[in-house]
Amino acid sequence: MVPIPHIVAIPYPAQGHVLPLMELSLWLVKEGCKITFVNSEFNHKRVIKALSENDDVQKKISLVSIPDGLGPEEDRTDLKKLTEAIAEVMPGKLEEVINMINECDENGVSCVIVDENMGWALGVAEKLNIRRVAFWPAAAAMLASLFSVSKLIDDGIIDSDGAILKKQGIKLSPNMPIMNPSDFAWACFPDPTMRKMVIELVKDNNERVKSADWIICNSAKELEPGAFAMFPQVSPIGPLLASNRLGFSAGHFWPEDSSCLKWLDQQPNNSVIYVAFGSFTILDSAQFQELALGLELSKRRFLWVVRENLLTDEAADNAYPKGFKDRIGNRGHIVKWAPQQEVLAHPSIACFLSHCGWNSTVESVSNGVPFLCWPYFADQLFNQSYICDVWKVGLGFKKNEFGIIGKEEIKNKMDQLFGDEVFKERALDLRAKVKSSVKGGGSSDKMFGKFIDWIKTG
């Protein structure tokens, strides 16, 4: 009898990384694998708390945790502190988890699937002689930029500490879209010591990933053919969305407020602007007010996700313009966290005002929903160029002289997007391509099949 593969999955400790790896894990369970999903203790508690009562994720997957090296009250948005703590504490703890499984399970751990940003975990698996898979949850083009760091240094685009030496747009390969060096993942950190730490981490991960048996990516060949042609060792198996395969998603850090779906049911088709900035974006009160006033000025229906820590300097309840909620009435609906995949699949959604995180990007693309782009940092800046310049399914905003996106700019871009049906037509064409990639016989589906065969042959 063939033993059941036991896989240990390790995401990077951020919402946008946990969700797609959880999606992949649930799919592997469906394919007959056993999964131990290793979150940091801090995120593990959030995931467990956010699971709804009728969720059976814990019956399907073993959810375990290891410390990230920071105390319960320490600031995990301080990436320097978090990165250093992870490197010091997590490798030893992961090794303990794997050894414990090997003692209890007669077949032991057959494979680890590691977020590419956690390259040290590939080193742990190599030491224990376990098969290794690197998982990239974002755009293949961003991974291509990380893999190209040495060449970028040699070509004088950046220095060895990641500082930008040439400002003009570059192409990593002739078939890839132009990338602005200021959009590179490490370039968004103004602090030189932080930038240097990130670039060193990238170099280390680039070395570690060479030991991986597979590099799998949450994207589709149809979305970014140039990046996959440049690095053929990266295998597209996405987009990993519940709607494509499983029908529900898990791994959220906040409980989802499903009341918004009932509100959406009462709105006309293609009438609602969905506004959500993911888990990391922070707005100051001046920008928050301009956004609120822009939504009011547009006179359009909107669903707005205002999570607890969206604002830098005060509680969200006090930050709305005076009388805003009374003036909006039932035209707008505000929640703390939404079941995003269900929202974007709803017929009343007309466009997505988004931070352009990769999960949000592929969720919107998979539902044929055009974008208004409001990127915050990291890969979101490049994802905006895919959306606006390559796929042409959205528009970006311009900041004023104070660095703020003003209410008039917000209203004008909404009018422009709603007034031009070509955006929706292109979005629907892109949806058809992406849907075909994950359906039987599609490019991602075939690659996924090969991956499953490899997992099962042990």
Instruction: List helix spans (H) across 105-216.
Output: 119-127, 140-147, 149-154, 192-208
**Does residue 79 share a domain with residue 219?**
yes
Instruction: Quote the Cα angle for 132-108-11, to 5°.
Output: 45
What is the reported pLDDT for 313?
66
Examine the pLDDT at 15 and tell me if it is beyond 60: yes
Q: Can you read off the two tokens belonging to residue 350?
A: 């007309």
Instruction: List helix spans (H) across 128-241.
Output: 140-147, 149-154, 192-208, 225-230
pLDDT band at 252 (very low <50, low <70, confident <90, very high): confident
What is the reported pLDDT for 249?
66
In a domain, 433, yes or no: no
Examine the pLDDT at 185 and tell me if it is beyond 90: no
Examine the pLDDT at 245 and tell me if it is beyond 50: no
In a domain, 425, yes or no: no
pLDDT band at 219 (very low <50, low <70, confident <90, very high): very high
Exposed, middle or buried: residue 167 (CB in 10 Å: 0-12, 13-18, 19+)? Answer: exposed
The gap between the terminal CA atoms of the chain, to the nearest Å, is 13
Q: Can you read off the two tokens belonging to residue 16?
A: 């946008």
Q: Can you read off the two tokens belonging to residue 420?
A: 């031009």
In a domain, 450, yes or no: yes
Examine the pLDDT at 293 and tell me if it is beyond 60: yes
What is the reported pLDDT for 317?
65
**Does residue 446 share a domain with residue 388?**
no
In a domain, 429, yes or no: no
Identify the CATH number of the domain in which residue 41 sits.
3.40.50.2000
Higher pLDDT, 432 or 185: 432
Contact 360, 338 (CB under 8 A): no
Contact 7, 113 (CB under 8 A): yes
**Does residue 145 share a domain with residue 26?**
yes
**In whole angstroms, what separates CA 406 from the centre of its chain?**
27
**Does residue 319 share a domain with residue 391?**
yes
**Does residue 326 share a domain with residue 181?**
no
Q: Of the segments 193-197, 281-285, 395-399, which one has the largest average pLDDT value?
A: 395-399
Query: How large is the average pLDDT for residues 198-212?
Result: 95
**Does residue 198 share a domain with residue 79?**
yes
pLDDT band at 300 (very low <50, low <70, confident <90, very high): very high
Domain of residue 395 covers 258-419
Examine the pLDDT at 236 and tell me if it is beyond 60: yes
- Predicted TM-score (pTM) of the model is 0.94
**Total number of domains in the chain:** 2
**Does residue 342 share a domain with residue 321?**
yes
| Average pLDDT over all residues of the chain | 93
Examine the pLDDT at 244 and tell me if it is beyond 80: no
DSSP state of 248: -
The candidate with the shortest Cα–Cα distance to 360, out of 347, 378, 350, 373, is 373
CA Rg value for the chain = 22
What is the reported pLDDT for 243?
52
**Does residue 243 share a domain with residue 367?**
no
What is the reported pLDDT for 79?
85
Q: Is the preceding omega at residue 239 within 30 degrees of 0, hence cis?
A: yes
Contact 201, 118 (CB under 8 A): no
In a domain, 356, yes or no: yes
Contact 306, 332 (CB under 8 A): no
pLDDT band at 53 (very low <50, low <70, confident <90, very high): low
In a domain, 432, yes or no: no
Those residues with Cβ within 8 angstroms of residue 229's Cβ, 6 or more apart along the chain or in another chain: 173, 175
**Does residue 167 share a domain with residue 281?**
no
- List residues bridging with 377 in a β-sheet: none
What is the reported pLDDT for 377?
84
Query: How large is the average pLDDT for residues 427-435?
Result: 96
**Residue type, position 315, single letter:** A
**Does residue 235 share a domain with residue 294?**
no
In a domain, 427, yes or no: no
**Does residue 209 share a domain with residue 138?**
yes
**Does residue 178 share a domain with residue 74?**
yes
Those residues with Cβ within 8 angstroms of residue 274's Cβ, 6 or more apart along the chain or in another chain: 302, 303, 338, 343, 344, 349, 351, 352, 353, 369
pLDDT in tens, 159-174: 999 999 998 999 999 9
Higher pLDDT, 317 or 262: 262
In a domain, 364, yes or no: yes
What number of residues does the chain have? 458
Query: How large is the average pLDDT for residues 67-83?
Result: 90
Those residues with Cβ within 8 angstroms of residue 188's Cβ, 6 or more apart along the chain or in another chain: 377, 378, 381
